[in-house]
Amino acid sequence: MNRIVVAGIDTEVGKTVVSAILAEALDGYYWKPVQCGLPADRDWVEENLSAKGRCYPSSFSLSTPCSPHLAARREGIRIDAGDFTLPIVAAPLIIEGTGGLLAPLNETETWADAAIQWKAQWVLVHRHYLGSLNHFALTVEAMERRKISLLGVIFNGEGDAVTEEMLLRKAASRCLGRLSWQEEFTPTILWSIAQEWKQTLFSALGR
C-alpha cells in the first residue's frame, strides 16, 4: 500500500489541488489529518474527484484559520504527533499536510514529526512567488535533516525552466508535474491533469 504525503514549501501553495490530482491519477484516497479553517479542503476534494466516497475526515477539524497549535489552543485541545490513526485502505492514500513542513502542532512538535512516523513517500509542492526559492531550500534542508527522501516535486505557476532544474538538483529529485494557472479548477480540468501526470507518477512509484 502506498502512502504519499503532500508537503508544501509554505501555506497556500497548492497542496489541496495537487493532492486531489494525485488521488485522481492513482485511484487513491484523500486524507488531511489536521484541518484549520473552513470550508474544509476535504469538501472541495470530494466535490472534484470523479469517484465519490474517497475522502476521509480529518483527525482534527478546527474552525480557526491559523497554525495548528494556535487553532487547537483556542479551541481548548492539544494535538500531539502520536495522536493520529491512519485510514486503512487497499489503495494509495494521499495525505495532505497543513501549512508548511514545520507548521507546529504544539509547543515542541511540528507537523513533520507526525508525518515521518507514517512510512510514506513524500511529494513537495513549490509555488513560484517572490521568496519561494529560499522557502524551497529551507524545506529541503529540513527534510534532509529528518532523512525524508522525496518521490518528486510539483511546480505550481509559471516559472523559469533553468531555475526549476536548479531546485531539482538541490532536492536530488525529479519533477512529477507542473500546474499552470487556472481561473478555476473543475472536475474535468482536474481529471485531465491527472491523466497527463499518470505515466510519470507510475514510473516514480515503480509501477
Q: Which residues are catalytic?
A: 32
Element (H, E) at 176: strand 175-179
Q: How far apart are CA 181 and CA 157, in angstroms?
A: 6
Task: Kindly state the DSSP code that residue 41 receives in the 8-state scheme.
Answer: H
Q: How far apart are CA 124 and CA 6, in angstroms?
A: 6
Provide Rg for the chain, Cα atoms: 16
Q: How far apart are CA 151 and CA 108, in angstroms?
A: 27
Cβ pair 97, 5 in contact under 8 A: yes
- 134-173 as b/e: b if 16+ CB within 10 A: ebbeebbebbeeeebebbbbbbbeebeeeebeebbeebeb
Q: How far apart are CA 27 and CA 112, in angstroms?
A: 25
Neighbours of 119 (CB within 10 A): 8
Element (H, E) at 36: strand 34-36
Residue 177, strand partner residues: 154
